[in-house]
Amino acid sequence: MTDAKTEEKPLVRKIESRRAMAKAMGEYFGEIFEAAREGSPKIAWCTSVGPAELLVACGFRVYFPENHGAMLGATRMATDLIPLANAVGYSPEICSYLTSDVGSFLKGETPMAKMPGYEFPKPDVLIYNTNQCRDVKDWMSYYQKHFDVPMYGVNTPVNITEVTEDHVDVAAKQIEAMVEPLCEITGVKFDYDLFKEKVSLSRELSEKWKTVLETASAVPSPINFFDSTIHMGPAVVMRGSTRAIDYYNLLLEELNTCIETGTGSIEDEKYRIYWDGMPIWGKLKSHSEHFASLKTCVVASTYCNSWIFDAFDADDPFKSMARAYTELFIVRSDAWKETYMQRMFDLYKIDGIIYHDAKTCPANSNNRYGMPDRLQKDSGLPYIIIQGDLNDMRCYSEEQTRTNIEAFIEQLAEK
Amino acid sequence: MSDKKLYCGVDVGASATKVVILEEDGTLVGHETRRTGVEAAEVSESCRDAILESLGLEKNAIALTGSTGFARDDVTFSDIKRTEISCHSKGCLLYFDGPMTIVDIGGQDNKIINLDENGKRTSFKLNRKCAAGTGSFLEEISTILNKPLEDLNGLAEQSETPVKLGSFCTVFTKTEILTNFRRGDRIPDIAAGAFESVIRRIIEMDPLTGNIVLTGGVVGHNPYIVKAFERVLGRPVRVPPHPQLTGAIGAALFAIEENSQGTE
């Protein structure tokens, strides 16, 4: 009889460009902290798929509370902070980005405090887009009451199959209506050409990010979902600037070299998984290593693809921005989403699908209205659903999730 | 027996640890079940040693060991590890041909596993993170009824009109039972209602259209649930000879398979 054998875990290749990303993100935050310290330029808080290009064109530094929410999750601070928001009436059932961010604010603790030159970026204006969910508006409303600053937003129609001109017009008019009050806050005269330039930069950035993600269609994939969730940071927060484009050029060079040399993100990739739903931020590293130990690469995801905006067009900035932010996956009907996901399964040569049912994020949990069974029927691909949350680790069972994932890979191996 | 190769299977569940020893043809020659507690490694080893002692054998009589269950990685003498989903499938296929839908009702979780006509797994589901519908729920109910857990089955057998317990939540169900008491409902009817509540939580997980095979400790200790399941589904269900040991048997079968592949 032998003792249990301890297998050496396959490595997850570390992305070398990550230092350049950290530098770019550091510069981005440094500019916001400096603005907070100096009182100039003005600071806008914006929901992640809000009209960032307009804000940049109007002269704001743009801070994204959702990015902060993800940081609270990834640093595993969130679960201790969420109860503080629960205690002041924000339910544990609602968005845990919101509750962890509010908890962070109430306690005065943030991972940003460790960054050089940290200064709390008090908002001068709050901007939302309900294309993601109603929670983002409620989130901004909390701070509106606290700071007594103006709040503007876009209320986007949701559950759309085909985006029509009417849908776009509704959103475009709301974006245009912000111009005057925003310029009043910053005191700058609206520069239409600058706005067009910002939209053009966002288009270029979006294309770069798309190309980065599509490198994962190579076998073996040079990047995995867990890395992508981190490396999408610049695509989220640096829209309308060249900094992120420069970074993705560097990252692309690295990933293309990996493809040329057949270097995978994990060693000995055998299975390729599509992840639907939010990442479980507090478990990124352990999930990444767990999948790697199973010779499985999570190569593609709905989440990371959500920051691809094909519609941006500098020649028609308001309407194209409105279209880009209305075409988003999360805004669409299940019928549209299923067609889209089928395309992704083919592009990325997927073996199986994992749906993350995030307790506090119904809008990003696509398993709840019968989609997994419909897609399995149409694609023939097996799936599992894991129960968890983006930030609230009280909703996550380590053992149950590990068993679920391992049993799924055993099933793929049986094929 | 001493000239035959033996294989050990260990299923370290959240509530109970089950250990079996099989001959190469799958014949069960010994088994032991104990509460897992917090020392999974020690409990699994003591179970194995107790079986060996009862058979008058030494540790070296076992050719290979397979382990499963939530603490499968903690079994120090395991040669091969598989999830309980794979092991329950394997264990059931020893007794029944596919296609089948395995419903495993364990102490802390439920599993539903679909196998095709070739015995290949086509899908599986685990229950949500909730005690409702599991053995833990029945333990809670026995506590509030102030009856030993092992008496619950006998009580349910005496029921004439099972009480319908409607809540999703174990804590809410306990409150609901207090209301039932005040209303004058009989304990046997509440016990039967608890079993039917377990079944309702399970039929929410899957349409259960195939041939149903029931496994798990709750099934092993409570034959009432099998009858109740048949009543709810309106058709017979199958139960392997040792429903609580199915995962451990599957783990031992994987050990046998590994050994035969290794000697080919």
ipTM for this prediction:
0.87
A382: contact with B, CB 8 A cutoff: yes
Residue A352 φ then ψ, to 5°: -165, 165
Per-residue pLDDT at A174? 96
Please give the tally of structural domains in chain B. Answer: 2
Strands (DSSP E) contained in B24-179 are: 28-35, 62-69, 80-81, 100-105, 110-115, 121-126
Angle in degrees, CA A389, A361, A245, rounded to 5 = 90
Residues B20 and B104 reside in one and the same domain: no
**Percent of all residues in chain B with a pLDDT value above 70, rounded to a whole number:** 96
Model confidence pLDDT, tens digit, residues A130-149: 999 999 999 999 999 999 99
Mean pLDDT of A116-125: 97
Model confidence pLDDT, tens digit, residues A308-331: 999 999 999 999 999 999 999 999
Which strand (E) or helix (H) includes residue A46?
Answer: strand A43-46
Residues B31 and B155 reside in one and the same domain: no
Residues of A in contact with B59 (CB under 8 A): 1
Q: Is there a contact between B79 and A4 if contact means CB atoms under 8 Å apart?
A: yes
Best of B128, B130, B204, B259 to disrupt the A interface by mutation (most A CBs within 10 Å)? Answer: B128
For the ranges A221-235, A239-253, B158-172, the lowest mean pLDDT is seen at B158-172
A357 falls within a domain: yes
Residues B150 and B231 reside in one and the same domain: yes
Query: What's the CA dihedral at B156, B159, B164, B165 to 10 degrees?
Result: -30
Residues B120 and B140 reside in one and the same domain: yes
- Residue B167, SS3 per DSSP: coil
Judged against a pLDDT cut of 90, whether residue B22 lies above it is answered with yes
Residue B167: burial class (beta carbons within 10 Å; 0-12, 13-18, 19+): middle
> What residues make up the domain containing A116?
18-414
Residues B59 and B116 reside in one and the same domain: no
CB contact at 8 A, A282 and A361: no
Strand ordering across the sheet containing A271-276: A296-301, A271-276, A352-358, A383-388
> What residues make up the domain containing B20?
6-89+244-263
Judged against a pLDDT cut of 70, whether residue B129 lies above it is answered with no
Per-residue pLDDT at A10? 54
Q: Across-strand partners of A357?
A: A387
pLDDT-derived band at A3, boundaries 50, 70, 90: very low
Judged against a pLDDT cut of 50, whether residue A2 lies above it is answered with no
Residues B140 and B49 reside in one and the same domain: no
A199 falls within a domain: yes
Residues B201 and B134 reside in one and the same domain: yes
Establish whether the linkage from the previous residue to B240 is cis, with ω within 30° of 0.
no
Residues of B in contact with A382 (CB under 8 A): 122-123
| Among the partner residues A383, A384, A399, nearest to B70 by beta-carbon distance | A399
Backbone Cα Rg of chain B:
19
A5 falls within a domain: no
Q: Is there a contact between B128 and A387 if contact means CB atoms under 8 Å apart?
A: yes
Q: Is there a contact between A407 and B122 if contact means CB atoms under 8 Å apart?
A: no
CATH number for the domain harbouring residue B168:
3.30.420.40
Judged against a pLDDT cut of 80, whether residue B223 lies above it is answered with yes
Residues B108 and B228 reside in one and the same domain: yes
Q: How far are the Cα atoms of A45, B18, B123, B162, B193 from residue B225, in angstroms, in the given order?
A: 56, 21, 24, 12, 11
Q: Rounded to whole angstroms, how far apart are CA atoms A89 and A92?
A: 9
Please give the tally of structural domains in chain A. Answer: 1
Residues B258 and B182 reside in one and the same domain: no
Strand ordering across the sheet containing B16-23: B28-35, B16-23, B6-12, B62-69, B80-81
Judged against a pLDDT cut of 50, whether residue B83 lies above it is answered with yes
Tokens 């046998």 belong to residue = B256
Mean pLDDT of A336-355: 97
Pairing type for strands B110-115 and B121-126 reads: antiparallel
Judged against a pLDDT cut of 70, whether residue A5 lies above it is answered with no
Per-residue pLDDT at B263? 58
Q: Rounded to whole angstroms, how far apart are CA atoms B22 and B193?
A: 37
Residues B229 and B103 reside in one and the same domain: yes
**Residue (of A236, A359, A362, A366) closest to A301 by Cα position:** A366
Mean pLDDT of A192-212: 96
Tell me the pLDDT of chain B averaged across its residues: 91
**Percent of all residues in chain B with a pLDDT value above 90, rounded to a whole number:** 65
B1 falls within a domain: no
Per-residue pLDDT at A351? 98
Q: Rounded to whole angstroms, how far apart are CA atoms B59 and B66?
A: 14
B84: contact with A, CB 8 A cutoff: yes
